[in-house]
């Protein structure tokens, strides 16, 4: 795609574009008032693609905090440079919601009072879309609690489209649950749901469900047994499995977490004294490489309750009950990025998601 040439006086258009792509979305929207050029540029298709391409390189952490047990929760965004980036509310949705999934700047939220109602929103642009209800009856069909076991969001930046996935075990009225696994997929292009049924006997912890990763056109979940990664190929609606590194599977007394690192699958293994980072270098051949081994001696007291949330090739964000830490892999330095003192807030890791600030449209 050819980039536009608007004529910008002192600086070439390319320079202006590179400067603007480094602004947060909120500041970028404010810059529309500077001049007609910047106003036009911020909505240009080429510029939006360039902005999103830059934004995905800056992985952040989203956590949910409450000032008190009676107050509505707020979303805190934390990035590697500024620490607490900004506090946001999802009140523009006009419903009480909880964040279920995050991908490339969009959030999938479910309604708290109305089960089976889902929204997709961009908290930076404050746009949102109410998803049409599927013909399934998720309140009574999904087992065990009436809601989908797996909720995922897949946002394709290049195609400017997204999918929402609801999947879970099926229980016929009056019968015990079996291994029937129903998967509903919403397509933003057609604005319709599609359904397919398979057999699955895998289980997932809370963190496994939260840490769904979208790469290579597929969604990935780590199973509760940590025996494999369950993969949903959205191009052909097909489930398959990816093996974990043999060294990781044979390890005992450690926890394993699935993340995304610069467009690749990553496994973070945490033991009492070490954090080992694995990256799936060759997706087709399933070749894992151990890329870093980090001593946890300086945060020894936090290790039992620390969880990796977001990652790039340079740093890892981790959350504890009340803190968000960042480890810089090149300098080997730990940094406290955010802490909360309010005892009414749930553990930060419980509601933490990886996040990127993009201009991805959801309407």
Q: Identify the burial level of 136 via C-beta atoms within 10 angstroms of its C-beta, where 0-12 means exposed, 13-18 middle and 19 or more buried.
A: middle
Strand partners for 141: none
pTM of the full structure: 0.86
Quick check: 105 and 28 in contact, CB under 8 A? no
Looking up tokens 């926890």 gives: 255
DSSP of 10-29, one letter per residue? TS-HHHHHHHHTTS-HHHHH
Identify the pLDDT of residue 315. 93
The CA distance from 210 to 299, in Å, is: 24
Residue 59 has pLDDT above 70, yes or no: yes
The CA distance from 209 to 221, in Å, is: 7
The CA distance from 359 to 310, in Å, is: 20
CA distances from 2 to 16, 49, 60, 160, 297 (A): 16, 12, 30, 18, 52
Best CA proximity match to 286, nearest among 254, 248, 250:
248
The alpha carbon torsion through 223, 284, 267, 243 (nearest 10 deg) reads 40
- Domains in the chain with CATH codes: 56-355 (2.120.10.80)
Roughly what angle, to the nearest 10 degrees, separates helices 13-20 and 45-55? Answer: 50
Lowest-confidence region among 20-34, 92-106, 130-144, 279-293: 130-144
Quick check: 38 and 28 in contact, CB under 8 A? no
The CA distance from 144 to 220, in Å, is: 22
Q: Which tokens sit at 224?
A: 């509760």
The CA distance from 316 to 301, in Å, is: 18
Q: Is 225 helix (H, G, I), strand (E, B) or coil?
A: coil
Lowest-confidence region among 81-85, 112-116, 128-132: 81-85
Average of per-residue pLDDT across 128-144: 67
Q: Which tokens sit at 122?
A: 């961009």
| Length of the chain (residues) | 363
The CA distance from 197 to 185, in Å, is: 11
What pLDDT, in 10s, does the model give residues 173-231? 555 556 778 899 999 999 999 998 888 777 777 777 888 999 999 999 998 888 899 99
């Amino acid at each position: 795609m050819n980039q536009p040439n608007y004529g910008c006086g002192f600086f070439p258009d390319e320079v202006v574009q590179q400067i603007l792509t480094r602004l947060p979305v909120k500041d970028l929207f404010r810059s529309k008032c500077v001049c007609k050029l910047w106003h036009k540029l911020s909505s240009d298709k080429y510029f939006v693609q360039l902005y999103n391409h830059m934004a995905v390189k800056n992985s952040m952490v989203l956590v949910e905090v409450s000032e008190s047990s009676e107050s509505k929760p707020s979303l805190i965004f934390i990035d590697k440079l500024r620490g607490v980036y900004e506090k946001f509310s999802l009140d523009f949705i006009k419903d009480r919601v909880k964040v279920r999934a995050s991908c490339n700047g969009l959030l999938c939220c479910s309604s708290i009072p109305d089960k089976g109602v889902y929204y997709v929103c961009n908290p930076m642009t404050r746009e949102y879309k109410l998803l049409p209800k599927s013909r399934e009856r998720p309140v009574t069909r999904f087992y065990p609690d009436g809601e989908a076991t797996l909720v995922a969001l897949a946002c394709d930046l290049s195609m400017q489209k997204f999918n929402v996935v609801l999947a879970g075990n099926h229980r016929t009225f009056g019968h015990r649950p079996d291994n029937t696994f129903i998967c509903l997929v919403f397509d933003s292009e057609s604005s319709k749901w599609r359904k397919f049924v398979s057999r699955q006997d895998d289980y997932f912890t809370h963190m496994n469900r939260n840490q769904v990763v979208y790469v290579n056109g597929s969604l990935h979940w780590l199973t509760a047994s940590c025996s494999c990664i369950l993969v949903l190929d959205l191009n052909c609606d097909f489930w398959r499995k990816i093996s974990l590194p043999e060294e990781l599977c044979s390890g005992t007394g450690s926890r394993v977490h699935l993340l995304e690192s610069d467009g690749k699958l990553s496994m973070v293994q945490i033991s009492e004294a070490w954090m080992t980072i694995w990256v799936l270098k060759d997706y087709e051949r399933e070749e894992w490489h151990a890329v870093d081994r980090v001593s946890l001696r300086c945060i020894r007291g936090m290790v039992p309750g620390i969880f990796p949330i977001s990652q790039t090739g340079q740093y890892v964000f981790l959350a504890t009950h009340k803190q968000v830490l960042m480890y810089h892999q090149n300098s080997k330095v730990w940094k406290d990025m955010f802490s909360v003192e309010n005892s009414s807030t749930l553990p930060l890791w419980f509601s933490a998601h990886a996040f990127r600030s993009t201009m991805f449209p959801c309407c």
